[in-house]
């Protein structure tokens, strides 16, 4: 059984006046709308009256209202329609009562807005018109113009206006995952091409990593400035890397993305799948909160991280379809494990499967809130 963590908290507790000065006057952290919410209190290492919960991919195919509103509309078009993106972002907050919204978008949106030919092919995923595999290819990549991010700012502003005291979490793909898609030209099981490129053409890899880091940082900054109260950097494919390659070829670019938004002071969550061996390096990249996938216990993650780290996770998505008794028992175990951290945001250890019964998620949120609510 896990024990309450007593290691010194390594996460700053509050935004400083200098950090707040970088946020626009209407920002919900500046107007005190979201700063005292359970989610932001927890992400910043402070106690809350209950453990907050949100789900990766909570806005998506598990919801019938999502499938209805997106019928006949391509994925990237949905992401770039501010009214539609805002509505999709809000749907799970209304239905489930989660403690935060996650901005509805896709990791290839910055690429698309920069002018790179990419689309999301149903049943396959992101596919580029042409892979990016040489230094010349990378030198010819267009830069992301600030004005191209206006639809993102509009969608975030529309969302935040309706969320009130519920915070919005912004989102971007980490540089390795973005670069891996670009080198492969589409999805891959093993990411051999980017892993080969790191060693065969390190100059080209460095240039591509820098490009991906810049665009991801711009994407996050636009969301923060428009009202996001926290952000998550999502590294879908980093689990394909060994620690040496991660530290040499990937960590500097993730660190550059996170450093570029540090001055805003919003909590920065870093999450990857299959990254149990990389957690200390991911923390060193500059994250404030570490997301843990379902493969590793929270107590072991905390041990590997050295203690005092705010954690997010890590209910196994497979348990959502296993029946309530099994799910409740597993959730109890995760909540107990979360006591090893100074603060714990409850989430899945990966995204919501499309086949999930949404009533299960609603019941799970209510259960977590009930189980963790502190007596007044």
| CA pair distance 30, 86, nearest whole angstrom | 21
> Which pairing describes strands 125-128 and 118-121: parallel, antiparallel, or unpaired?
antiparallel
| CA pair distance 117, 134, nearest whole angstrom | 17
The active-site residue out of 41, 46, 99, 181 is 181
Q: Count Cβ neighbours within 10 Å for each residue of 20-43 and write b for 16 or more, e otherwise.
A: eebbeeebbbbeebbbebbbbbbb
The active-site residue out of 10, 61, 248, 363 is 61
Q: How many CA atoms lie within 13 A of 172 on its CB side?
A: 29
Does the annotation count 106 as an active-site position? Answer: yes
Does the annotation count 70 as an active-site position? Answer: yes
The active-site residue out of 41, 46, 70, 214 is 70
The active-site residue out of 57, 195, 214, 304 is 57
The three-class DSSP label of residue 336 is helix
Q: Count Cβ neighbours within 10 Å for each residue of 168-203 and write b for 16 or more, e otherwise.
A: bbbbbbbbbbbbbbbbbbeebeebebbbebbeebee
Strand segments, DSSP code E, in the chain are 101-102, 118-121, 125-128, 168-173, 230-235, 268-272, 289-291, 310-315, 344-348
The three-class DSSP label of residue 118 is strand
CB 292 within 8 A of CB 313: yes
CB 229 within 8 A of CB 169: yes
The three-class DSSP label of residue 231 is strand
Does the annotation count 181 as an active-site position? Answer: yes
The active-site residue out of 66, 95, 106, 195 is 106
The position carrying tokens 């989102």 is: 171
Q: Count Cβ neighbours within 10 Å for each residue of 302-321 and write b for 16 or more, e otherwise.
A: bebbebbbbbbbbbbbebbe
| Cis status, amide bond into 157, omega within 30 of 0 | no
Residues labelled catalytic? 57, 61, 70, 106, 181
């Amino acid at each position: 059984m896990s024990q309450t963590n007593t290691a010194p908290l390594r996460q700053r507790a509050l935004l400083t006046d200098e950090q707040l000065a970088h946020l626009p006057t209407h920002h919900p952290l500046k107007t005190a709308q979201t700063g005292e919410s359970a989610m932001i209190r927890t992400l910043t290492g402070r106690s809350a009256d209950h453990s907050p919960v949100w789900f990766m991919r909570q806005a998506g195919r598990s919801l019938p209202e999502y499938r209805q509103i997106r019928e006949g509309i391509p994925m990237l078009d949905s992401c770039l329609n501010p009214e539609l993106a805002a509505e999709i972002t809000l749907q799970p907050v209304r239905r489930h009562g989660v403690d935060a919204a996650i901005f509805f978008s896709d990791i290839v949106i910055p690429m698309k807005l920069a002018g790179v030919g990419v689309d999301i092919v149903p049943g396959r995923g992101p596919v580029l018109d042409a892979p990016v595999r040489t230094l010349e290819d990378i030198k010819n990549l267009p830069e992301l113009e600030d004005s191209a991010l206006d639809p993102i700012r509009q969608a975030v502003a529309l969302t935040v206006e309706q969320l009130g005291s519920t915070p919005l979490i912004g989102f971007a793909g980490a540089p390795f995952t973005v670069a891996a898609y670009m080198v492969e030209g589409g999805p891959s099981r093993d990411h051999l091409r980017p892993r080969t490129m790191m060693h065969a053409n390190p100059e080209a890899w460095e240039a591509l990593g820098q490009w991906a880091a810049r665009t991801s940082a711009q994407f996050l900054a636009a969301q923060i400035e428009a009202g996001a109260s926290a952000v998550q950097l999502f590294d879908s494919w980093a689990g394909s890397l060994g620690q040496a390659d991660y530290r040499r070829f990937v960590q500097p670019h993730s660190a550059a993305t996170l450093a570029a938004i540090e001055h805003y002071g919003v909590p920065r969550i870093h999450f990857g799948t299959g990254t149990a061996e990389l957690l200390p390096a991911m923390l060193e990249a500059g994250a404030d909160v570490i997301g843990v996938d379902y493969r590793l216990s929270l107590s072991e993650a905390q041990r590997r991280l050295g203690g005092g780290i705010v954690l997010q996770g890590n209910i196994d998505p497979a348990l959502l379809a296993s029946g309530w008794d099994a799910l409740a028992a597993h959730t109890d175990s995760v909540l107990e494990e979360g006591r090893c951290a100074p603060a714990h945001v409850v989430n899945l250890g990966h995204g919501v499967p499309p086949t999930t019964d949404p009533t299960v998620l609603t019941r799970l949120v209510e259960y977590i809130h009930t189980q963790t609510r502190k007596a007044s």
